[in-house]
Chain A
Amino acid sequence: KNQVEQSPQSLIILEGKNCTLQCNYTVSPFSNLRWYKQDTGRGPVSLTIMTFSENTKSNGRYTATLDADTKQSSLHITASQLSDSASYICVVSSYTGGFKTIFGAGTRLFVKA
């Protein structure tokens, strides 16, 4: 069964600290993996997109890594800010004659002053 599991479910960190969010998937064959940020009451916003040949992608203070062999990805946030408080969603797409996309349930990040 194709699945995307994210951990932790929620996380509280102090402003200025770094954190890493995890995404494990069983979706196969792999097409791409995306990370989105979703602020409360808003739609998701794309952070990074990685295909099979990419193992790292940065967007400002956000750095995503991908290990296609172990089917794991991580999102590292550097020097967190209060505005980083949001849900972070991992999305994995597969293509086998038709597209299949699975959204993770997300990690809820709280950044405290």
Chain B
Amino acid sequence: NAGVTQTPKFRVLKTGQSMTLLCAQDMNHEYMYWYRQDPGMGLRLIHYSVGEGTTAKGEVPDGYNVSRLKKQNFLLGLESAAPSQTSVYFCASSYLRDYEQYFGPGTRLTVT
């Protein structure tokens, strides 16, 4: 089993550009999450999903959109990137809500 995978691993964007981060899990988990991790801070929840076709806002949703068209995939979109979105993005999945979460390897995004 691959667990949770994320693509791409690294990306550099210019301000105003758009991109989509892809997360995939092969554990048949209902719950999936997108977090951002910034230096000196704990992970912060951007959006999450409680099942195929359903998404909800987390703590810091502004500037991001998500979609979960298939149970195994959770996409995070940035429509117009800003330097404040420079961060490391982690996807996670879990069988139960906010219980043991399995994290992907992360995507390091730099917006110039």
A contact set with B: CB distance below 8 Å? 4, 31-32, 34, 36, 41-46, 49, 89, 93, 95, 99, 101-106
* Structural contact, A99 and B97, CB atoms closer than 8 A: yes
A39 to chain B, nearest CB (A): 10
* Structural contact, A102 and B42, CB atoms closer than 8 A: yes
A46 touches which one: B40, B100, B104 (CB < 8 A)? B100
* Structural contact, A43 and B98, CB atoms closer than 8 A: no
* Structural contact, A41 and B106, CB atoms closer than 8 A: yes
Interface of A is mostly: strand
B34 to chain A, nearest CB (A): 12
* Structural contact, A42 and B106, CB atoms closer than 8 A: yes
Cα distance A102–B44 in the bound complex, in angstroms: 8
* Structural contact, B42 and A4, CB atoms closer than 8 A: yes
* Interface contact tally, CB-CB below 8 A: 47
Interface centre among B35, B90, B99 (most CB of A within 10 A): B99
Interface hits, B87-112 → A, CB 8 Å:
90, 92, 97-106
Residues of A close to B103: CB separation below 8 A:
36, 43-45
* Structural contact, B43 and A103, CB atoms closer than 8 A: yes
* Structural contact, A89 and B106, CB atoms closer than 8 A: no
Residue B2, interface by CB 8 Å:
no
Residues of A close to B90: CB separation below 8 A:
43-44
Cα distance A28–B95 in the bound complex, in angstroms: 23
Cα distance A99–B31 in the bound complex, in angstroms: 12
Residue B13, interface by CB 8 Å:
no
Residues of A close to B81: CB separation below 8 A:
none
* Structural contact, A49 and B99, CB atoms closer than 8 A: yes
* Structural contact, B4 and A43, CB atoms closer than 8 A: yes
Q: Can you give 22 A-B contacts (C-beta < 8 A)?
A: A31-B98, A32-B98, A34-B100, A34-B101, A41-B105, A41-B106, A42-B106, A43-B90, A43-B105, A44-B90, A44-B101, A44-B103, A45-B103, A49-B100, A89-B43, A99-B97, A99-B98, A102-B42, A103-B35, A103-B42, A103-B44, A106-B42
* Structural contact, B41 and A105, CB atoms closer than 8 A: yes
Answer whether A43 and B104 are a contact pair too, CB < 8 Å, given A32-B98, A99-B98: yes
